[in-house]
Every structure is written in C-alpha cells, then in structure tokens.
Amino acid sequence: MTTGYHPLVKRLLDGELSLAELPPELQVEGEEALRLVGAVDRAPVTLPAALEARVMETVRRHAASPARRAWRWLATPRELELRVRVRPWSLWAGALAAAAALALLVSRAPEPSTPQARIVPRDRVYVRFVLFAPGARRVTVAGTFNEWDQNAAPLVSAGSKGVWTTTLAVPLGQHQYAFVVDGRRWVIDPAQPAVDDGFGGGRRNSMVAVTAQGARTL
C-alpha cells in the first residue's frame, strides 16, 4: 500500500506543477500517479431512496430527546462575561441587608451542642432527663424549672428495663432538680454534679445549665 506521494508529485496531482517540471527521478512516480487518478470513475453516485430513508431513520432514533437536549444545554458549562456598573451607596445598602439577614438567621436557630437537647423558642431548650430506676412505679422530675412541682413532669418508662425518660422545654439558665420516685423518694441524677440542698440530712440536688447551645454540665 502506498503510504504517500512525494510532495512535488502531490503538487502535480493538484495541478500546481506539470509533469515536465518534476525532477527526472520523480518522473516515473508522477506518471504512475497521473495514470491512477485518470483511471478513477468520476461519475456521480446516486444512493437508492430506500437506503437514505433507512439511514435517516436510524439517525433520528439515536438523536437526543428534547428533554435530554434541554438538560445538556443547561448542564454544559459556558463562559459568561458579566459587567456590572453600581453606585457606592447601593453596595453599602446591599452589604447591610446581607448582614441583617445573616444576623436574623444566626439569632433564630443555633444548633444544639448535645444530643440530649434541642432548641425551641428562644428562651427555652428541650432537655431529656433519664433515670434508671428498676422497680419504680412512678418517676417524676422536679426542680427550679417547674417550681419543684413533683406532679408537673412525669417520666415515661422506656420498656421493661427500668429506664425512665422525659423531655422538657426548660428555660435558659442554671437549674437544680431531682427525681421523685414513687412520690416520696427524692433521687439525684447520677449523670450530673450535685450540691447540698441546704435543708440538712445530707440531701442533694442535681445541677444542669441550660444554654442556647443546649444542656450541659455547668
């Protein structure tokens, strides 16, 4: 298979040179090339109508659907050049508006820092209280957040394993509390620090700090 003619022979085929203008060593190659080109049938080819219809049908079948084309149009990255002309006061107004919006977002919904607390309205946070009291018939929690009302916040038994739990909306601040088991026994929360309750007899209260970020040991 011929890999290619000499550049001068190619110019001969292109009509840029005549055979006589080729150097003697290329004369044979030039004649051969002209002979081959002259032997080519240059009559126009007409495809049968059925073949054209078949080809076009196949092309349409493989063409992208309108939705696909639309998605491709949207997803294809393009270079855009945006020229904005602003006045300084409008920049400041925009910055102030953005700052106000940010402040509003930040002040609304801080994320809880512990899994036991989630945020409710601004001055309260949901706090989960848990006590392991196997054999207890009733458990409540009373403290400074509910004016020590031992009927205000009953805990619910979580299955038969002796785990009692409740979730309360507790005001922000430092609180003291205790669990009341079966309406008569005051029990501190073993998971939290405790302080003397001041009434003598060695009784103590648990402490919890409720902050906007959740409940913590403080």
Positions touching another protein (CB under 8 A) are 142, 144, 147-150, 173-174, 176, 186, 193-200, 203, 205, 207, 209, 211, 216-218
| Angstrom distance (rounded) from CA 91 to CA 97 | 10
Beta carbon nearer to another protein, 150 or 155? 150
Report in angstroms how near the CB of residue 145 gets to another protein at its nearest: 10
Q: Which is nearer to another protein, 123 or 149 (CB)?
A: 149
- Name which of 107 and 174 has its Cβ closer to another protein: 174
Do 133 and 162 meet the contact criterion of CB atoms below 8 Å apart? yes
User: Minimum Å distance from CB 178 to another protein?
Assistant: 8
- Closest approach of Cβ 200 to another protein, in Å? 6
- Cα 218 from Cα 196, distance rounded (Å): 16
- Least separation in angstroms between CB 193 and another protein: 4
Please name which of 150, 174, 176 lies closest in space to residue 166, comparing C-alpha atoms: 150
Q: How far is CA 99 from the centre of its chain?
A: 24
Q: Which is nearer to another protein, 118 or 216 (CB)?
A: 216
Closer residue to another protein, CB minimum distance, 135 or 200: 200
User: Measured from the CB of residue 117, what is the shortest distance to another protein in angstroms?
Assistant: 13
Q: Does residue 180 contact residue 146 with C-beta atoms inside 8 Å? A: no
Tokens matching residue 195: 């302080």
Task: Give the C-alpha distances (Å, rounded to integers) separating 108 from 103, 104, 208.
Answer: 9, 6, 23
**Residue 19: which of 142, 11, 168 has the closest Cα?**
11
